[in-house]
Copies of this chain bind each other. A is one copy, B any other.
Amino acid sequence: MLQFKAVTLSALVGVFSTSLLAAPSPITDSQKETAEQLIQTALNSDMGYDIVTSLTTEVGPRLGGSEAEARARNWGAELGKELGFDRVSIEEFTMPFWDRGHLHITLTSPYQQPLYGTALGGAAPSESEVNADVVYFRDIHALTDIKDKELKGKIAFVDGDAMVKSQTGAGYGQANQRRRIGWQHAQRGGASALVVRSVGSDSHRFPHTGMMSKNGDEWATIPVIAVSNPDADHLRRLHQANKPLSMSLHSESKWKGEVSSGNVILDIIGSEKPEEIVLIGGHLDSWDLGTGAVDDGAGVAITTAAAALIAKLPKRPKRTIRVVMFGAEEVGLLGAFAYAKQHEANLANHVVATESDFGAQTVWQLVSNVNSDATQLVDDIAKILSPLGIIRGGSDVAGGGPDIIPLAAKGVPTIRLNQNGRDYFDLHHTPDDTLDKINPEELAQNIAAYAASIYLLADTDVDLKGAK
């Protein structure tokens, strides 16, 4: 019995019949009706698009630990007050600051040609201009095979392939190896610098930034630069034509000591069990190259708007709904770890947590990791989301989003509204992550899905504890 029309998403609309329901639902008729009204309201609202427009325009890029991220926190706290949240706070923490600085990188043999590159997070500066011959590696495996010291005085270039596109972003881990661990082997080989093919799935002249991995407690001591996929294609063709490659590069990227960051906390206080927390959120920081629209202005907008729509209901749900705008996610989940630590004593009261951090395309699947008795509740939430084009996925899928990792590790149950991420890696961590890439209707579908699910999770008496 469908009580609403998903007007803007008619092509995606699925159908379910109440006759398929086997057991009595833990969702009351009144709760279901409210959830369906929230979906309609969200689909017809511009609130989410207005939020991401405001964040990307009025704050702009906001690297973790920067002055811009501090402005973003003030923006978030002001927004929470305007939207009628009951309690707004900023929880600060300290962190080491990595600054990109200026880079130039040029092919110097077989001829002069500027390359489109950017430093990778954690990379060291070049002390002076590095001018060196380039040793070409077809992929990360070829680099990890080298002997110690065999790259002395050289620049290593690690090719590979553009990231394979998929709905789930499954190609990211494999492509990411060259970004994550390449420096350790280049450094072991004695290379003066490492240049890698960007991790993205696009074929535009944009480099993709992102953090490297530490080796124990060690960061790279050499410059590490990602160049765009078309630039990497170019280098490969020159290598295949047996042209000798050399480059000149100068990078100022470096660690600059301890600075402040913080998480912004916006609460809608529960009417019956205010101590129990349903936690949602996104990350407030972004990489500095773009304006962080899809990563993760969208997630901040989706979760804040969803909670704000719930706040407009005549009555608060039973449990507290908490929106966390996490700080310093990109540079190592620093806000997430700070939150888990600062709220350590209270984690048992976090009944479920989830984050939106995979762009702004539509949600297609609801997965969860809650106790077996609570699985029925999530199944029934999925049925209410079905007209939005959303199916039920696994009931034992650990996760909930990057910033939820420290909470999930402490036993906090999770759900996740999986988005279509097919085009996400064309944009994320590049200069091209800007507002024009967000489709307002797709964003609204996300908000509809979050508003309905979060309302139901906050207004239920079902205990979700005991994730698998």
Q: How far is the CB of A438 from chain B (nearest CB, A)?
A: 11
Stretch of A52-60, A179-187, A374-382 contacting B (4+ beta carbons < 8 Å) = A52-60
B59 to A111, Cβ gap below 8 A? yes
Taking the nearest CB of chain B, how far is it from the CB of A143, in angstroms? Answer: 23
Interface assignment of A174: CB less than 8 Å from any CB of chain B: no
Most buried by B among A229, A234, A238: A234
Q: At the interface with chain B, which of A78-86, A263-271, A275-283, A429-437? A: A429-437
**Interface band, chain A:** 35 or more
Q: Is the CB of A432 within 8 A of B205?
A: yes
With A and B bound together, what is the CA distance between A107 and B59 in angstroms?
A: 12
Cα distance, A110 to B434, chains bound together (Å): 18
* B57 pairs with A238, CB closer than 8 A: yes
- Interface 1/0s, chain A 121-142, versus B by CB < 8 A? 0000000000000000000000
Q: Cβ of A327 < 8 Å from any Cβ of B? A: no
B60 touches A113 (CB 8 A): yes
Assess whether A290 is in contact with B238, with CB atoms less than 8 Å apart. no
Interface positions of A from 191 to 224, Cβ below 8 Å from B? 203-206
Q: Cβ of A57 and Cβ of B234 under 8 Å apart?
A: yes
Q: List 15 A-B contacts (CB under 8 A).
A: A56-B234, A57-B237, A58-B110, A58-B238, A59-B111, A60-B111, A68-B112, A71-B111, A116-B431, A205-B206, A205-B434, A230-B434, A233-B434, A233-B435, A233-B436
B-side contacts of A113, CB under 8 Å? 60-61, 291
A230 touches B116 (CB 8 A): no
Q: Cβ of A341 < 8 Å from any Cβ of B? A: no
A245 to chain B, nearest CB (A): 12
Interface status of A22 (Cβ within 8 A of chain B): no
Residues of B within 8 A of A291 (CB): 113, 234
- A432 and B229 CA atoms in complex are apart in Å by 11
CB–CB A57/B241 < 8 A = yes
A203 to chain B: which residues have CB within 8 Å? 436-437
From B61, B107, B234, B290, give the contact of A434 (CB < 8 A): B234
Is the beta-carbon distance between A58 and B241 smaller than 8 angstroms?
Answer: yes
> Cβ of B431 and Cβ of A205 under 8 Å apart?
yes
Complex-state Cα separation, A323 to B57, whole angstroms: 51
The 4 A-B pairs of least Cβ separation, nearest first, read A230-B434, A205-B431, A57-B237, A60-B113
